[in-house]
């Protein structure tokens, strides 16, 4: 009798709370990250292949919140990419179109679009709308989340890109995840602490070549953080590469987890 009562109680709970027992793909909420090099992190992956990298850190931060469902994060980003190239290269069709069970899609483009797309202020919003339409078609159950860019370029350029992102999101009725303020605030603690150093070997005086030999990757010296700043920081352009290092990606992961956690809780309560 007790067993039957337990079964009945379980059935009642499932009927009353259908969403809390939703069968996610492979038992996990699926999160997709779409973007350029500031999402991919190719150099940190090369320097420290064991990571953990952005998608894994995000999974770990979400898992640390005991009331959240298990999550799986797919990082489908590529260095140098802009929205038109995502389609023209066929990469979206290969890597994004048929991903199963996607629940959330974070979209962070604009830096390369501004640098490489002709008539940027007209075509970038158009391309963004086209991408959102395609994502809605291929992943109809996914929540689409446009993101602002991080402080990679100067403030004026960043504001121009982010204004267009907000414009697109407003027309589409979508929320914007504004990553820019958090990243900018972290940079105030140390302007160069969130970017790696990538510097042409040919520009480094020959007397230092033995010192930098372990860090040579192709034509460049690549260093994750400030390890050689005290010796080579005086070289013009030493701090010029503003791509995130692992510390930078951890900031992105942390802010993304803080943004996503309430959405997951709301989803579970419906």
Helix (H, G, I), strand (E, B) or coil at 17: coil
Q: CA torsion, points 157, 159, 165, 169, in degrees to nearest 10?
A: -170
In the sheet that holds 220-223, the strands lie side by side as 197-200, 220-223, 216-217
Sign of CA pseudo-dihedral 15, 21, 26, 31: positive
User: Tell me, what's the pLDDT at 6?
Assistant: 38
Q: What is the Cα–Cα distance from 130 to 227, expressed in whole angstroms?
A: 43
Q: What is the Cα–Cα distance from 139 to 249, expressed in whole angstroms?
A: 26
Q: Which of 83, 58, 89, 51 is nearest to 149 (CA)?
A: 83
CB burial of 168-192 (b: ≥16 within 10 Å; e: otherwise) equals: bbeeeebebbbbbebbeebbeeeeb
**Alpha carbon of 8 to those of 2, 12, 48: distances in Å?**
10, 6, 52
Cα 255 to chain centroid distance, Å, stands at 10
Q: What is the Cα–Cα distance from 103 to 270, expressed in whole angstroms?
A: 15
Averaged over successive runs of 10 residues, the pLDDT of the chain (270 residues) comes to: 37 31 67 98 97 98 97 97 97 92 98 98 98 98 98 96 98 98 98 98 98 98 98 98 98 98 92
CB burial of 200-235 (b: ≥16 within 10 Å; e: otherwise) equals: ebeebeeeeeeebeebeeeebbbbbbeebeeebeeb
Altogether, the residues listed in the chain come to a count of 270
Place of tokens 């994750």: 224
User: Tell me, what's the pLDDT at 5?
Assistant: 42
Q: Which of 150, 53, 159, 75 is nearest to 109 (CA)?
A: 150
33 forms bridges with which residues in the sheet?
A: 75, 106
User: Tell me, what's the pLDDT at 13?
Assistant: 31
Sign of CA pseudo-dihedral 184, 186, 192, 194: negative
Sign of CA pseudo-dihedral 203, 204, 205, 206: negative
Q: State which H helix or E strand residue 44 sits in.
A: helix 42-47
Domain residue limits, the chain: 24-190+245-269, 197-240
| Each residue's pLDDT tens digit, 39-58 | 999 999 999 999 999 999 99
**Quick one: what percent of the chain has pLDDT higher than 70?**
91
Superfamily of domain 24-190+245-269: SGNH hydrolase (3.40.50.1110)
């Amino acid at each position: 009798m007790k067993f039957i009562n337990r079964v009945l109680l379980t059935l009642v709970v499932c009927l009353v709370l259908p969403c809390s027992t939703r069968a996610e793909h492979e038992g996990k909420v699926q999160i997709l990250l779409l973007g350029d090099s500031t999402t991919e992190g190719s150099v940190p992956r090369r320097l420290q292949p064991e990571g953990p990298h952005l998608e894994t850190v995000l999974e770990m931060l979400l898992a640390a919140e005991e009331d959240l469902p298990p999550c799986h994060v797919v990082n489908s980003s590529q260095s140098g990419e802009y929205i038109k190239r995502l389609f023209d290269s066929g990469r979206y069709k290969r890597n994004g179109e048929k991903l199963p069970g996607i629940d959330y899609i974070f979209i962070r483009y604009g830096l390369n679009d501004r640098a490489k797309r002709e008539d940027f202020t007209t075509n970038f919003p158009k391309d963004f709308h086209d991408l959102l339409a395609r994502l809605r078609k291929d992943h109809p159950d996914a929540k689409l989340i446009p993101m602002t860019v991080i402080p990679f370029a100067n403030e004026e350029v960043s504001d121009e890109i982010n204004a267009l992102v907000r414009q697109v999101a407003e027309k589409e009725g979508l929320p914007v995840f504004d990553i820019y303020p958090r990243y900018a605030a972290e940079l105030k603690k140390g302007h160069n602490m969130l970017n790696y150093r990538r510097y042409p070997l040919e520009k480094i005086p020959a007397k230092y070549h033995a010192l930098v030999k372990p860090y040579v990757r192709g034509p460049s010296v690549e260093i994750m953080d400030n390890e050689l700043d005290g010796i080579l920081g005086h070289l013009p352009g030493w701090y010029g590469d503003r791509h995130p290092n692992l510390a930078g990606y951890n900031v992105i992961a942390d802010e993304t987890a803080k943004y996503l956690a309430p959405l997951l809780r709301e989803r579970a309560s419906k």
